[in-house]
Amino acid sequence: MAPTCSKLLAGVRRQDPRAIGRAISAVENNSESAADILSALDQEAIDGVLVLGITGPPGAGKSTLTSSMIRALRKEKNRVGIIAIDPSSPISGGAILGDRIRMMEHALDPDVVLRSMATRGRLGGLCASAGAAVRIMAAAGCQIIIIETVGVGQSEMDIVRLADITLMVLAPGFGDDIQAMKAGLLEVADLLIINKSDLPGAEALCMEMEQIFRDKQEKDGILRVVQTIAAQHQGIDQLLATLNALAFHLKSTGIQEERRHKALNAETLDWIFEILRPHFIKAMNTKPERKEPRIRAQELIHEFTTTEHPE
């Protein structure tokens, strides 16, 4: 391991914000030091972290809820990591990074590690290096990590596989969006949050969602629908209590371990695609041909697998 990499890892263990940021950037940019960094992280810390995923339609108040949750978690002396996934330009890959601006009240807290990441064109709502960022934050002492996604509705299914607990945030007045998501709510969300519950229609929405989650709730006795007014920090204590109960249930039943195993397999497959993509792009540009794309893809794969390539 290079001396600079060892120094960087020591900085991560010391919870140095610059070292944490540089380590995540090294993975994002697929630098030569990325493998050394990730292979040397504290596995015990990674195993002990709780990863929360927050998703839902734009305007439901995900960022405000996240900020309010951070405040409550810090009162309990938890060190918190935040990964705010922002939409990125399909041309430049650059991100808007609006979530980071909305969470600036926590920017000076040394025990809040905030990182904005771009989707880089991934429809699933998470960039390929988000899982590695979670593990780096965990190794840097974060006990709870919150991933807040873009907020594009049903297309951000990646959050399900990476988070230990997925929170779906809804609000009154999003009728069409909610109707479109109903079929997948039970598959996507572990916990449903009705935010802005002081608005008209909140009680009706809550009752409707409780019916959808009734079987789950009756099975394990854990509340599945929580009402909040995040802008006024109302309902957050009940939300955290519910999260604690759900986290204990998932861990004690082995569900969390099973989810993490599947997540690592899916992330491995993602990295296979990320690593191979440049080789195939180069091959296509070197030999431009007008062929049926499926046939050409099979030919390129055959050529790649029967020829020696550098790692």
Look at residue 285 and tell me if it is in a domain. yes
Q: Are 72 and 108 in contact (CB under 8 A)?
A: no
Q: How confident is the model at residue 24, as a pLDDT?
A: 94
Range scoring the smallest mean pLDDT among 148-152, 235-239, 294-298: 148-152
The span from the CA of 123 to the CA of 152, in Å, is 9
Burial grade of 25 (CB within 10 A; 0-12, 13-18, 19 or more): middle
Look at residue 116 and tell me if it is in a domain. yes
Q: Which of 164, 185, 149, 170 is nearest to 246 (CA)?
A: 164
Q: Assess whether 268 and 246 both reside in one domain.
A: no
The span from the CA of 218 to the CA of 66, in Å, is 28
CATH number at 144 reads 3.40.50.300
Residue 244 has pLDDT above 50, yes or no: yes
Average pLDDT over residues 201-216: 86
Residue 124 has pLDDT above 60, yes or no: no
Whole-structure pTM value? 0.86
Q: Assess whether 108 and 218 both reside in one domain.
A: yes
Task: Write the DSSP string, 223-278.
Answer: --EEE-BGGGTBSHHHHHHHHHHHHHHHHHTTHHHHHHHHHHHHHHHHHHHHHHHH
Residue 252 has pLDDT above 60, yes or no: yes
Look at residue 36 and tell me if it is in a domain. yes
Q: Assess whether 155 and 293 both reside in one domain.
A: no
Q: Name the maximum alpha-carbon separation found in the chain.
A: 64
Q: Assess whether 157 and 223 both reside in one domain.
A: yes
Q: How confident is the model at residue 55, as a pLDDT?
A: 86
Residue 119: pLDDT band with limits 50, 70, 90: low
Q: Assess whether 160 and 36 both reside in one domain.
A: no
Q: Assess whether 241 and 109 both reside in one domain.
A: yes
SS (H, E, C) 131-199: HHHHHHHHHCCCCEEEEECCCCHHHCCHHHHHCCEEEEEECCCCHHHHHHHHHHHHHHCCEEEECCCCC
Average pLDDT score, the chain:
84
Residue 37: pLDDT band with limits 50, 70, 90: very high
Range of the domain at 9: 1-40
| DSSP structural state of residue 95 | B
Q: Which pair of structure tokens corresponds to residue 69? A: 């949750």
Query: Strands of 112-118's sheet, edge to edge?
Result: 112-118, 80-86, 144-148, 50-55, 165-170, 191-194, 225-227
Look at residue 154 and tell me if it is in a domain. yes
Q: Which pair of structure tokens corresponds to residue 220? A: 């394990």
Look at residue 310 and tell me if it is in a domain. no
Q: Any idea which residue has 């900085």 for tokens?
A: 11
Q: Assess whether 144 and 212 both reside in one domain.
A: yes
The span from the CA of 189 to the CA of 208, in Å, is 15
| DSSP structural state of residue 41 | S
Look at residue 311 and tell me if it is in a domain. no
Q: Assess whether 36 and 48 both reside in one domain.
A: no
Q: Name the more confident of 2 and 234.
A: 234
Range scoring the smallest mean pLDDT among 56-65, 86-95, 197-206: 86-95
Q: Which pair of structure tokens corresponds to residue 118? A: 């771009």
Look at residue 277 and tell me if it is in a domain. yes
Q: Name the more confident of 224 and 270.
A: 224
Cβ atoms within 10 Å, residue 71:
16
| DSSP structural state of residue 88 | B
Q: Assess whether 177 and 295 both reside in one domain.
A: no
Q: Assess whether 114 and 215 both reside in one domain.
A: yes
The domain total for the chain is 3
Q: Assess whether 98 and 120 both reside in one domain.
A: yes
The span from the CA of 195 to the CA of 109, in Å, is 26
Residue 38 has pLDDT above 90, yes or no: yes
Tell me, rounded to whole angstroms, the distance of Cα 246 from its chain centroid: 18
Residue 239 has pLDDT above 90, yes or no: yes
Residues 133-183: tens digit of each pLDDT = 999 999 999 999 999 886 644 445 666 678 999 998 999 986 655 665 666
Residues 61-115: tens digit of each pLDDT = 998 999 999 999 999 999 999 998 765 544 444 444 445 555 667 878 999 999 9
Q: Assess whether 192 and 110 both reside in one domain.
A: yes
